[in-house]
Structure 1
Amino acid sequence: MVLAAGLAAGLFVAPTALAQPPGGSSQAVDDNRALDNDGPKSFGPFERQQRFILHGADPGFEGGTVWFPKQSTGRPFPTILVMPGFLAFEGSVSWFGPLLASYGFLVLTMFSKTPFDSPVARNDQMAAAVQYLGKSKDYRDLVDTNQIGMVGWSYGGDAALHAAALKNPLPKAVVAFAPSSDKAMELDYQTPLDKVRVPAMMIGIDDDILCLLTDKYRERDKCALPAYRAIGGMQDKMFVQLSSSLMNHFEFILSNPVVAAYTVAWLIRFVQGRPDYNTFLCGGRPAGVAEIRSWLPSLPCAAPRPVR
């Protein structure tokens, strides 16, 4: 807990001067003061507001918390859905709401219908939430359904990858934290990762205890890495392996500056389409990261990292 507090204090400081977004644009404000070679340094320039979608508001999903910028300009906002993992609740991913909203996104951090839901069921709920947001009188003017990103931890990460392979509406980009990966755990989640069609980032952690439970894959992080390897073709993809920590598989439920930096950069680059975030994604390995692999054919990276 002390470590988490230190990390939060180091990255998530209160925003300073608030920059105004460009009129009529759905993109976040072009303010490079929020970015340096080490990635996002703090919350972004947008002030945020919060609403709640109650359980039962829509039969397709279980509700959650909505965060979005207060500014009236810049609407509709690119929209991110965040799904928790097996046996976890919305609170385990709630810190992504205010973080991503401060960079110009509307964010729904979700409950799953039951804590036991499979990745496929969780993805169905994310798809239902997109439809709800696009039709609801409370959100339809705020949501850009042409700029959707999906994020998840553990089973929620599998759900995001499932969306990237099969679902309609297809997200523009996904981020999966410690996905359990059908390739690693030898379970059939009906997610053909070789069919992933959008930019996908996977962030794992060294010696992930839940991945080491299978005898066949007793080597560091063998959950996120097999998922990364299984994504083929010319699709942009990136694997970031965090250094070992006491939180282990649960590193992603508390604010973490490395996780925040890569998540913000990936979603802004590929959901909002802002090339000024190429610098960080093409950059070196920051402290707290054990390994990076990437295949980024659409980015002008000078030195490509190992693909496999």
Structure 2
Amino acid sequence: MHHWFRRAVGSLLALALAGAGLTAAPAARAAAPDILPVAPLAANPYERGPAPTVAAIEASRGPFAIAQTTITAGSVTGFRGGTVYYPTSTAEGTFGAVAISPGYTATQSSVAWLGPRLASQGFVVVTIDTLSRYDQPASRGTQLLAALDHLTTASSVRTRIDRNRLAVMGHSMGGGGSLSAANTRPALQAAIPLTGWHTVKNWSSVRVPTLVVGAENDSIAPVSSHSEPFYTSLPATLDKAYLELNAASHSAPTSANVTIAKYSISWLKRFVDDDTRYEQFLCPAPRGTAIQEYRDTCPHS
């Protein structure tokens, strides 16, 4: 009778709980703390490609297969056409874009090596010809912006590009042009003047992360009157760096250069792609036989 009574009471209790919309939970479960698992933070949506290594950013080609297409001079206004290099797959999403200008009297062929080098690291790159080979830096800056506008709105690769992640580069007067472009359009994500030349020395109004590359033996745009004052005039609060190439001349950026490529890739990855995996190559300040001097503010994460 005793066991029957206990079973009957238990059955009645279960029916009562069910009637009230409740269920009996095990004691251990009831005592468990009310803590939900925390979801991991979302990965950076702009990261492209595998985790970087020194060998990877020094290599002549990165992990992305690339193709190229021509922008004919007659098909555009604002610049004289150019060559576009781009990753063939968009499986990882859209890419940032970079426009590159040659220097005084030069054509895009002088900076063409940077096209596939950067594109294979996960960027859409256009090397441009300027309206005139004799265009001054300010005009080259305007033309760089025109090239970016064409890339993002009218080019055959526009759907591959994130129009909010754009950068400018250039050699000599094209480098000066990249400073002008950055000053004109603060929404740019990065600027890289390569042995830049410009009559304007004060760039305190620039708000675009800028890597200034100078050459120790540059007699056309001596660092003492160009790259160094450019860098110094940039705001101290800005993400900026000054890389001086050891024993290099003004023309160093016009042929394949591991040091220029390595730190340009790192700068573009860090600021166009917000990819902090590349900070290791920028801060602490890099050293080596190819570098005469390096100054920076270190990226503000």
Q: TM over 0.5, yes or no?
A: yes
Task: Tell me which residue corresponds to 2:170.
Answer: 152
Work out whether 1:206 is the aligned partner of 2:216. Answer: yes
CA 1:126/1:151 → structure 2, altered by over 3 Å: closer, same or farther? same
Larger radius of gyration: 2
Do the aligned residues in 2 keep the contact of 1:235 with 1:296 (CA within 8 Å)? no
Q: String of CA shifts for 1:174-204, please: whole Å, max 9, x gaps.
A: 11111113356xxxxxxx5000101100111
Task: Tell me which residue corresponds to 1:172.
Answer: 189
* Cα distance in 2 between the residues matched to 1:288 and 1:164: 27
* Cα distance in 1 between the residues matched to 2:164 and 2:244: 30
Map 1:142-291 onto structure 2 (within 5 A): 142-167=160-185, 170-183=187-200, 192-212=202-222, 221-245=224-248, 248-283=249-284, 284-291=286-293
* Cα distance in 1 between the residues matched to 2:275 and 2:110: 28
* Cα distance in 2 between the residues matched to 1:203 and 1:61: 24
CA RMSD between the two structures: 2.0
* Cα distance in 2 between the residues matched to 1:257 and 1:71: 25
Partner SS for 1:298? coil
Work out whether 1:59 is the aligned partner of 2:77. Answer: yes
* Cα distance in 2 between the residues matched to 1:197 and 1:259: 22
- Aligned residue pairs total 257
Partner SS for 1:249? coil
How far off its partner does 1:171 sit?
1.2
The answer to which of 128-137 and 96-105 deviates more is 128-137
CA 1:150/1:229 → structure 2, altered by over 3 Å: closer, same or farther? same
Do the aligned residues in 2 keep the contact of 1:28 with 1:105 (CA within 8 Å)? no
Partner SS for 2:70? strand
Do the aligned residues in 1 keep the contact of 2:137 with 2:197 (CA within 8 Å)? no
Do the aligned residues in 2 keep the contact of 1:164 with 1:197 (CA within 8 Å)? yes
How far off its partner does 1:125 sit?
1.1
Partner SS for 1:194? coil
Work out whether 1:78 is the aligned partner of 2:96. Answer: yes
Q: String of CA shifts for 1:250-277, please: whole Å, max 9, x gaps.
A: 0110001111101000000010110010
How far off its partner does 1:39 sit?
7.4
Do the aligned residues in 2 keep the contact of 1:39 with 1:265 (CA within 8 Å)? no
Q: String of CA shifts for 1:18-50, please: whole Å, max 9, x gaps.
A: xxxxxx955321333xx23x7713121101101
Task: Tell me which residue corresponds to 2:16.
Answer: none
% same residue: 29
Task: Tell me which residue corresponds to 1:135.
Answer: 153
Do the aligned residues in 1 keep the contact of 2:101 with 2:140 (CA within 8 Å)? yes
The answer to which of 143-152 and 127-136 deviates more is 127-136
Normalised TM-score (structure 2): 0.80
> 4+ residue runs of structure 1 moved beyond 2 angstroms?
24-27, 181-184
Work out whether 1:295 is the aligned partner of 2:297. Answer: yes
* Cα distance in 1 between the residues matched to 2:218 and 2:69: 34
The answer to which of 146-155 and 68-77 deviates more is 68-77
Task: Tell me which residue corresponds to 2:4.
Answer: none
Give 5+ residue unaligned stretches, structure 1.
Answer: 1-23, 185-191, 213-219, 300-308
Work out whether 1:91 is the aligned partner of 2:109. Answer: yes
Partner SS for 2:83? strand
How far off its partner does 1:77 sit?
1.4
Partner SS for 1:56? helix
Work out whether 1:41 is the aligned partner of 2:42. Answer: no
* Cα distance in 2 between the residues matched to 1:155 and 1:288: 24
Q: String of CA shifts for 1:196-227, please: whole Å, max 9, x gaps.
A: 10110011111211135xxxxxxx64321110
How far off its partner does 1:73 sit?
1.3
* Cα distance in 2 between the residues matched to 1:140 and 1:39: 27
Task: Tell me which residue corresponds to 1:7.
Answer: none
Task: Tell me which residue corresponds to 2:129.
Answer: 111
Do the aligned residues in 1 keep the contact of 2:172 with 2:221 (CA within 8 Å)? no
